[in-house]
């Protein structure tokens, strides 16, 4: 008897509300949502506005420009598949359009990170079907990167 594989803890499960977001990410586009009732942008994909509760929301392509809001370098995580990625930077970035999102910062030594530094979206495949947005420095860093 074969034991069923455990679901991966690092892979989201798209649903009808989030599938357009994941489809766009696979194409190298970052989507957020904008509410037609109050005009505010929000992130993560959902069928209502978290500010005014209107259901009149529509996807909008983000510029991909962001600033680093906060971060933490993870040096220990024994959960698969995170252990193979150590160390990695878990971060919250603020998009130019306003919403903040949790992500990873890549292509930058953790010691080179600075709150408020400009970042640009990049995309990394999670599976053959799913791609996730990550962020990297928008400008070359002096002193090298890793």
With a cut of 70, say whether residue 6 has pLDDT above it: no
**Size of the chain in residues:** 146
Residue-wise pLDDT tens digits, 67-101: 999 999 998 877 777 777 788 899 999 999 999 99
Q: Report pTM.
A: 0.86
Residue, of 53 and 142, whose pLDDT is higher: 53
The upper half-sphere exposure of residue 115, i.e. CA atoms within 13 Å in the direction of its Cβ, equals: 4
Residue-wise pLDDT tens digits, 52-71: 999 999 999 999 999 999 99
The CA distance from 137 to 143, in Å, is 13
Domain extent listing, the chain:
19-137
3 state DSSP class of 103: strand
pLDDT at 82: 76
With a cut of 50, say whether residue 146 has pLDDT above it: no
């Amino acid at each position: 008897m074969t034991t069923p594989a455990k679901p991966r803890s690092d892979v989201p499960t798209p649903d009808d509300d989030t599938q357009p977001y994941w489809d766009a990410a696979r194409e190298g586009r970052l989507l957020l949502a904008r509410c037609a009732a109050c005009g505010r942008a929000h992130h993560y994909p959902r069928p209502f506005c978290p500010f005014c509760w209107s259901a009149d929301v529509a996807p909008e392509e983000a510029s991909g420009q962001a600033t680093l809001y906060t971060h933490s370098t993870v040096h220990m995580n024994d959960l698969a598949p995170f252990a193979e990625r150590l160390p990695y930077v878990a971060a919250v970035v603020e998009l130019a359009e306003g919403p903040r999102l949790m992500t990873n910062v890549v292509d930058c030594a953790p010691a080179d990170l600075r709150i408020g530094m400009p970042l640009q979206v990049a995309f990394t495949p999670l599976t053959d079907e799913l791609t996730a947005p990550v962020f990297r420095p928008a400008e070359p860093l002096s002193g090298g990167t890793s």
